Structure 1
């Protein structure tokens, strides 16, 4: 029997676009942007500031998520490129990946419209806190490795492919919880918490966290609660979420960008010594039973019963890698081919060395050797979560409750 999975807390419609050098070169010239202005900390209120933000990330090959004060500048920028309309939010993308794997779920949404109704898989039930249809598209910007922007005194080339998320979304910013959430949790075996990164007001966040804790009192004792981190629109609120939920989280997941943001410094992801120190430091900051870190080179579980999550780690890697290569169009055949693909040599060596150094406290699996001309960089972390939770739901591993 398939376990009951509840995925929350928000969701959205995404406008996905891929950057092109000619358009960015032209915008750099039109807006007279200089290299000295390229900083990821820029406030985004105009299209010029949006371009500066994108270029600062492209220069480093980084990914991120930002609040944008003007929805008009998002629309203006999106109008310069061909775009796809898809569904987004960690919980929604995870649900769609789980559906492919034959694992149904129930979603908690804060915004609903005809696009969502049309694109959600038939086996995804949902509840929604909104009392009327709303549409606040998120801008998802992809760029390929090697993409070059050369205009004025700017000459940069992306060292890695990645994606950026720009948001002006009152529904997710409010993150109102449905009165039905508690009853939907009564029979849950797995519960995903995500989306609080969009909340920008401290009082609103505290109210939502308190309400969530109340709903979670309905959870059965054997449930596994998985929290997936994200780029907070107000970085100072991240700690508030951790403080409120740390006692009721079994697994805390995050990617390499979020890992380094928490630590405040870069980490060489193929240095055993640096990663071991990073995991220990992260555990000191986030005191949960198990940390799960997913990166482009490897994915690892660190903490209590880490070895029990090997199958889930592997499924997360397979699904995220298949999406990286084939995007939304991948089939079960692509999935099976990925499972038999060769792993990256340096990642295999790293994973073995990290486990040897840290012992049973860590389980690390290497990523695949992938060489794709035009990879999909949108939703990879969400796909990992979907694969991880699908394996968890089908195999099961008991949680603990502190509500």
Structure 2
């Protein structure tokens, strides 16, 4: 493995649900789900009713997230009510696909490999993995559009925004064995992305995997840049395990707006410039990294050392926008159709306000507000990351 861009750590096959409000309403009726008002949720989903309830409650709030499901049969029972399509998932894999669309080669670390994974992986992407007997079941991905309407128990619920929900039963990712040749791959890499530890169920195992990774990262060149992509942890208290040990190895720490709220332990409004500035400063101080990156549906932001990062943020935003409009089949032609918003655009005004509050330590790129007939909310952050890495590779002559 000699690619200059190395992307770890997990991977999966996704079963993407085709949105069907009637099917969801029928499921809710079948399992006696209510409208989700004031429902308390356990961190692990242990029944079909609980999974359907989670979908309904998140739609009502316009929320997204990811959860562990006790039994893969639950995933099968729900997916059987919908049309689905199969795709490759995992932040690193979707970032690799975005890089491929932008003409960049990479190496990915996979948690599980079979014929289906090999068939779906782009030919430009090399891979490494650790052999394991642990199975990997498709992750159930439910995305709903803004304005989606469902009828439940005589009540009408309308989604205030588009979002996606991820339901996982995946032993291969829960153990996430690190390939023994990861250190050799790191020794040749100039850009290294780390992600995927959010699905590990055992805290002791999580600690061991982090120590293994740090040991392998010691082989990286002195000028290599490490980017960490955060995630929705199945057990949120495990997030602190990552930050305590891994932050010292990371140059850019990236997350979405839901993950910002998880760190802050409070709601986060991406349209409030003062709140965004305060959150960016708090996150960087808490993590102790050189630069924090936040990507949202309104803007992408870097805070800290932001020298030369604006072009990379722009590439990330354009790639994610192309995926939002054209889905998994987006290409470089679609990518080139989306200019950044002009100074009169409302998003650009907000971005300028956030950037001004950063006092020279913040770079913000607004997201184009585009219309899509069938918008894709799955994998937008991952695709943003692929575009960001393409921009970093260009700037670093990788």
Same fold (TM over 0.5): yes
- TM-superposed CA distance for 1:331, in Å, is 2.7
Provide TM-score, normalisation by structure 1. Answer: 0.94
Provide TM-score, normalisation by structure 2. Answer: 0.95
Equivalence for 1:368? 368
Deviations 1:315-366 (A, max 9, x none): 0000000000001122322111113676882210011112222221101111
Equivalence for 1:286? 287
Equivalence for 2:173? 172
User: Which shifted more, 239-248 or 32-41?
Assistant: 32-41
Inter-CA distance 39–372: structure 2 relative to 1 (3 Å threshold):
farther
Deviations 1:148-193 (A, max 9, x none): 1212154311011111100000010001101110011111100000
Equivalence for 1:354? 354
Equivalence for 1:327? 327
Alignment partner of 2:16: what SS? strand
Q: Aligned equivalents of 1:206 and 1:313: distance in 2?
A: 32
Q: Which runs of 4+ in 1 moved over 4 A?
A: 39-42, 131-134, 340-344
Equivalence for 1:141? 142
Cα pair 1:45 1:69 within 8 Å, conserved? yes
Cα pair 2:299 2:365 within 8 Å, conserved? yes
Alignment partner of 2:322: what SS? helix
* Structure-to-structure mapping, 1:1-400, within 5 angstroms: 4-35=4-35, 36=37, 38-41=39-42, 43-131=44-132, 134-304=135-305, 306-339=306-339, 345-396=345-396
Q: Aligned equivalents of 1:150 and 1:87: distance in 2?
A: 32
Q: Aligned equivalents of 2:277 and 2:284: distance in 1?
A: 11
Cα pair 1:343 1:367 within 8 Å, conserved? no
- TM-superposed CA distance for 1:373, in Å, is 3.0
Cα pair 2:32 2:49 within 8 Å, conserved? no
Cα pair 1:344 1:366 within 8 Å, conserved? no
Cα pair 2:3 2:107 within 8 Å, conserved? no
Q: Aligned equivalents of 1:283 and 1:340: distance in 2?
A: 26
Inter-CA distance 189–56: structure 2 relative to 1 (3 Å threshold):
same
- TM-superposed CA distance for 1:133, in Å, is 8.7
Inter-CA distance 234–104: structure 2 relative to 1 (3 Å threshold):
same
Q: Aligned equivalents of 2:388 and 2:364: distance in 1?
A: 14
Inter-CA distance 343–195: structure 2 relative to 1 (3 Å threshold):
farther
Structure 2's unaligned 5+ residue stretches are none
Inter-CA distance 327–344: structure 2 relative to 1 (3 Å threshold):
farther
Cα pair 1:17 1:140 within 8 Å, conserved? yes
- TM-superposed CA distance for 1:368, in Å, is 0.4
Alignment partner of 2:268: what SS? coil
- TM-superposed CA distance for 1:300, in Å, is 0.7
Structure 1's unaligned 5+ residue stretches are 399-403
Cα pair 1:107 1:127 within 8 Å, conserved? yes
Inter-CA distance 375–342: structure 2 relative to 1 (3 Å threshold):
farther
- TM-superposed CA distance for 1:209, in Å, is 0.7
Deviations 1:18-76 (A, max 9, x none): 33111121122222222346445464111111000111111111110100001001011
Equivalence for 1:401? none
How many residues align? The count is 396
Alignment partner of 2:308: what SS? helix
